[in-house]
A and B are shown apart, each in its own frame.
Chain A
Amino acid sequence: DAMVIQNPRYQVTQFGKPVTLSCSQTLNHNVMYWYQQKSSQAPKLLFHYYDKDFNNEADTPDNFQSRRPNTSFCFLDIRSPGLGDAAMYLCATSRDKRTGVNIQYFGAGTRLSVL
């Protein structure tokens, strides 16, 4: 059973045209994450939500925004995609445990191409 679902799997957009990627989860986890992964590189955390609390990484460009309307869904908005934003975008979830093991479960990713 898919637990973290990302749609679409492949997305093509034009330079400068806003695009939204979506993530849903059936795990009822209260933390959701967005990572950017460029070819053959490590995933890089963009931001995460702890419930409705938004936590941005210091080096995440302003071009990237996120929304979390409810526990199950989280969106990544790229306001004006540039060629450098072409990447795989991974969504992950975890149960928040400020102590103790806190396993992140990943979706299959959305591969974004920018033309």
Chain B
Amino acid sequence: AQTVTQSQPEMSVQEAETVTLSCTYDTSESDYYLFWYKQPPSRQMILVIRQEAYKQQNATENRFSVNFQKAAKSFSLKISDSQLGDAAMYFCAYRMEYGNKLVFGAGTILRVKS
């Protein structure tokens, strides 16, 4: 069974600084998808960024980028120029190529200090 591990329960970053959230996963599949979701307090979970395993190029979305290391099964999220609105719980998630089910990590609470 696939598992997703987020080893940082909580992280803090100063406004305008850069922070990296870690995620590792375990799978025997060669093709799959990885996601970072953001869940602000009392608000809905939204997709931040996604990565297809067959793509070597790391995904980027504005201030958000990933470092995808397929051999190491690592998928970290880098947030540049952190803003107060980035404060949230961040979940790393995995999905097999064939299927609908997302497997989530335990989450990392990100606090942004002004």
Contact = CB atoms under 8 A, between A and B. Distances in A.
Interface size class of A (residues with CB under 8 A): 20 to 34
Given A41-B106, A42-B107, A102-B33, A108 B100 contact: no
B91 A43 contact: yes
Contacts of B43: 108
A107 B45 CA distance: 7
A98 B47 CA distance: 19
Given A43-B104, A104-B102, A90 B97 contact: no
B45 A106 contact: yes
Interface string B43-84: 111110010100000000000000000000000000000000
Nearest to B104: A42
A42 B100 contact: no
Interface residues of B, number: 25
Contacts of A109: 44
Interface string A87-115: 00010001010110111111111000000
A32 to B, nearest CB: 10
B44 A48 contact: no
A108 B89 CA distance: 14
